[in-house]
Structure 1
């Protein structure tokens, strides 16, 4: 069971002071967070790609590369790379470079992206949303399979027997598929034999169990060894010394971000009642003390089959020291409890 962190490198206004941290300072903070995550024994750290003012990570591979030389064991992944609006050649080159710097710890988490700012920025038509992803994923997988590539598609110039360099330390370079819970996307991941990441950020996490089953059935039908295919989840959360402190610190910045996004997407108002319901034992928020969060992760593993859990923290801007403390608690107190419990099952 792997435990880790994901972030979008948020730069939203502080809910108490109204001040907004600079992109540069927040990026430097995230590098410190990755280094700490490595030191406290976490398995993976993911940085999500966005192209808007309130998130500073438009180039996750660069941030991960900055942390790669300062870390020893932690795996470094995008969370996600918006592959539909990216050039797969460049994506592969960037993460092969991170793989070299980290000596084999880089991963790509590829997704369509629920944020669409990158499409007009890079000159893509949203009407081609699905077709772009399918085509770009095909090329990315072809590049990781072979040093010399010949390929032709509809949205990018053809490649005729050209080499793509550098080659990664890992062969093949891990590529995960990120999904928000769409049946078609989990079936695709299964048919391709690629690891799956589910964004479980609302509703009841146990509702995702049928999707995991669907993924595994598709993989088995395609002839892949299901036992070797990991399934990850990405969920919002925060850890503090007590559950009350964790909830009180996490609510306001989370509410701020979700209500901004809610206005853009037509969601209802996010209030404390919704927040408290989501942090119940069956809810999708992993907020509380170490014991509370560990028990919820164990529950997810038992009933959904997740083999990697990524805590997304913070959602809105929070003091750096609070985020660092949450990472420390996740690594030193939550992860050992989860691993110990999972090991008991495996030994039985």
Structure 2
């Protein structure tokens, strides 16, 4: 079981002070968080991609490269790269560069993005949402397979027998498919034989079990060994020395963030009752002391069969020292508990 953190580099107003941290300061904080995650033995750190003022992660690969320079072991990934609105050649070059700087620790999670801010910014039509992703993913996978590539498609200029450099240290560069639970996305990942990351931020995670089943079945039909295709989960949460402290610290910014984005998406008011239900054993939030969070990761892994878990934090803006403490606890107390419990289960 691999345990890690991912972040969207949020820069929303602090719910207690009303102040908004600058993008520059938050970016520097994230590099410190990556360094700490490496020091406390976490396996992976991810940085998302958005193109709006509430987030500072529009150039995630640059943040990851800064993290690579101050770490030794931790793997570094996007979470996710909106490939539909990007040039696959440039994205491949960037992540191959990251792989070189980190000496083979780079990964990429590609997806269509739950927010559509990148599409108008880079001149893409949302009517081409599905087609863009499928075509660009096809090209991206060709780039990692061969040093020289020829390409002709509908959304990017053609080229013939051109070399793509630098080449990554890893062969092939690890590519995961990110999904919010869309069955078609899971099936696509299975057919391609690519690992799957499920973003589970609401409802009951157990409801995603049929999606994992679809993924594995599609992989088997396509001739892949489904047992060798890992599944990861990304969920929101927070760790503190006590569950009451974790709840007190995490609920206010989470509520503010959920209500802000809820207005855009037509969600209802996010209440304390919803929050408490979500942090129950069967809910989607992983909030509590190290034992509580560890037990929940193990519990959900039994239902979903995932072998990698991303704790997304913070949600909204939280004090940097509290985020650093949560990362420390995740690495030094949660992860060892999870690994010990998983090892016992596997030994039976």
In structure 1, how many angstroms separate the alpha carbons of the residues matched to 2:64 and 2:153?
Answer: 30
Secondary structure at 1:211 match in 2: helix
Secondary structure at 1:149 match in 2: strand
Q: Is 1:295 the equivalent of 2:295? A: yes
Paired position in structure 1 for 2:328: 328
Paired position in structure 2 for 1:254: 254
After superposition, give the CA deviation of every residue in 1:157-191 in whole Å (9 maximum; x if it has no partner).
01211111000000000000000000000000000
Deviation at 1:344, TM superposition (A): 1.2
Deviation at 1:116, TM superposition (A): 0.7
In structure 1, how many angstroms separate the alpha carbons of the residues matched to 2:170 and 2:210?
Answer: 32
Deviation at 1:210, TM superposition (A): 1.1
Paired position in structure 1 for 2:46: 46
In structure 2, how many angstroms separate the alpha carbons of the residues matched to 1:199 and 1:281?
Answer: 17
1:144-155 equivalences in 2 (<5 Å): 144-155=144-155
Paired position in structure 2 for 1:266: 266
Paired position in structure 2 for 1:64: 64
In structure 2, how many angstroms separate the alpha carbons of the residues matched to 1:202 and 1:28?
Answer: 30
In structure 1, how many angstroms separate the alpha carbons of the residues matched to 2:347 and 2:274?
Answer: 39
Deviation at 1:83, TM superposition (A): 0.5
In structure 2, how many angstroms separate the alpha carbons of the residues matched to 1:341 and 1:240?
Answer: 20
Secondary structure at 1:91 match in 2: helix
Paired position in structure 1 for 2:133: 133
With structure 1 as the length reference, what TM-score do the two structures score? 0.99
1:30-179 equivalences in 2 (<5 Å): 30-179=30-179
Paired position in structure 2 for 1:229: 229
Deviation at 1:63, TM superposition (A): 0.2
| Structure 1: runs of 5 or more not aligned | none
1:273-288 equivalences in 2 (<5 Å): 273-288=273-288
After superposition, give the CA deviation of every residue in 1:92-114 in whole Å (9 maximum; x if it has no partner).
00010110010000001000001
Secondary structure at 2:41 match in 1: coil
1:186-205 equivalences in 2 (<5 Å): 186-205=186-205
Deviation at 1:226, TM superposition (A): 1.5
In structure 2, how many angstroms separate the alpha carbons of the residues matched to 1:206 and 1:333?
Answer: 25
Secondary structure at 1:155 match in 2: coil
Paired position in structure 2 for 1:218: 218
Secondary structure at 1:310 match in 2: strand
Deviation at 1:227, TM superposition (A): 2.0
After superposing on structure 2, the runs of 4+ consecutive aligned residues of structure 1 that deviate more than 4 Å are none
In structure 1, how many angstroms separate the alpha carbons of the residues matched to 2:17 and 2:341?
Answer: 42
CA RMSD, 1 decimal: 0.6
Q: Is 1:337 the equivalent of 2:326? A: no
Paired position in structure 1 for 2:208: 208
Deviation at 1:346, TM superposition (A): 1.9
Secondary structure at 1:201 match in 2: coil
In structure 1, how many angstroms separate the alpha carbons of the residues matched to 2:222 and 2:118?
Answer: 33
| Structure 2: runs of 5 or more not aligned | none
With structure 2 as the length reference, what TM-score do the two structures score? 0.99
In structure 1, how many angstroms separate the alpha carbons of the residues matched to 2:237 and 2:299?
Answer: 15
In structure 2, how many angstroms separate the alpha carbons of the residues matched to 1:329 and 1:67?
Answer: 20
Q: Is 1:7 the equivalent of 2:7? A: yes
Secondary structure at 2:12 match in 1: coil
Deviation at 1:213, TM superposition (A): 1.0
Secondary structure at 1:273 match in 2: helix
Deviation at 1:236, TM superposition (A): 0.2
In structure 1, how many angstroms separate the alpha carbons of the residues matched to 2:302 and 2:342?
Answer: 9
In structure 1, how many angstroms separate the alpha carbons of the residues matched to 2:147 and 2:276?
Answer: 51
